[in-house]
Amino acid sequence: MSGQSANIHTETVSYTASGTTLRGYLAYDESADAERPGVLVVHEWWGLNEYIRRRAQMLAELGYTALAVDMYGEGQTADNPDEAGRLMNTVLQDMRQGEARFKAGYELLKGQSTTDAHMAAIGYCFGGAMVLHAARIGMDLDGVVSFHGALGSAHKPTPGGVRARILVCHGAADSLVPDDDITAFKREMAEAGADYRFEAYEGALHGFTNPDADENGKKYGLPLAYSAQTDRRSWQAMQDFFNAIFS
């Protein structure tokens, strides 16, 4: 897929889950006639901000229909770790609500005239945990990609229960993801018989895809850092993964 001649249409779309209004961000190449796979994008703990909108646009440039989903409701975003943590934990402490919001975005994207029968999801940090959860509960996705996402499990899949193929792009120097979680994740995937790949990038810290990670790390004293090289390598790994699962 190529975005060299892309004419990208973007819009904010409103939808609902359990009575909550969600404000997502849809992006696709309107110059392409054919239907194409749909890719959900799940945000970091900061919410659906400009960084995540840009990722949706990048997916559209690759030829996909992309929807950045709103997991917090009303398009809420955070500008400090305390508020981000509060918003994130509201979802993590009520995964039924989180599932409902994710599934609402899934149905919206699946119903787009530009989307074909294939669906995938990618997520960053908190969003990585959410797309892995979607795989664990057996959602009908061709594949999911987690970028520097949390690996802890809120649902242990049964053997054969993971339908999606999985790619985990992890920073080998990420101190926010415990080694025990990595071991437990790999064991869980093996026991479920999941088709997964775990890529660990040497020297990469949490947030390695986000150019704002350096500033946020220094500002809030968090072990975050952007790595342009790892960003490129992991994005290419995602493209290769999509080429394989959508072929």
9-14 contacts, C-beta under 8 A, 24 or more apart: 9/60, 10/53, 10/56, 10/57, 10/60, 12/75, 13/67, 13/108
Which pLDDT does position 3 carry in this prediction? 41
Q: What angle do CA 28, 132, 192 make, to 5 degrees?
A: 130
What's the number of domains the chain is made of?
1
pLDDT of residue 4: 43
Q: What is the pLDDT of residue 6?
A: 67
Domain range enclosing 27: 8-245
Confidence of residue 2 (pLDDT cuts 50, 70, 90): very low
In a domain, 230, yes or no: yes
CATH number for the domain spanning 163: value is: 3.40.50.1820
Residue 61 lies in a domain: yes
Residue 180 resides in a domain: yes
Residue-level pLDDT at 33: 87
Mention every residue, 6+ apart, whose C-beta is less than 8 A from residue 4: none
> Each residue of 6-26: pLDDT tens digit?
699 999 999 999 999 999 999
pLDDT digits (tens, 9 = 90+) for 51-110: 999 999 999 999 999 999 999 999 999 999 999 999 999 999 999 999 999 999 999 999
3 within some domain: no
With cut-offs at 50, 70 and 90, classify the pLDDT of residue 113: very high
Q: Does residue 1 fall inside a structural domain?
A: no
- For 221-233, write each residue's pLDDT tens digit: 999 999 999 999 9
Does residue 111 form part of some domain? yes
Write out pLDDT tens, residues 121-138: 999 999 999 999 999 999
Per-residue pLDDT tens for 167-222?
999 999 999 999 999 999 999 999 999 999 999 999 999 999 999 999 999 999 99
Which tokens go with 1? Answer: 């897929």
Asked if 126 and 210 touch (Cβ cutoff 8 Å), the reply is no
Characterize the bridge pairing of strands 8-17 and 20-29.
antiparallel
- Return the pLDDT at 230: 98
Q: How confident is the model at residue 154 (pLDDT cuts 50, 70, 90)?
A: confident
Q: What is the pLDDT of residue 65?
A: 98
Average pLDDT over residues 19-35: 95
Single-letter amino acid, residue 53: R
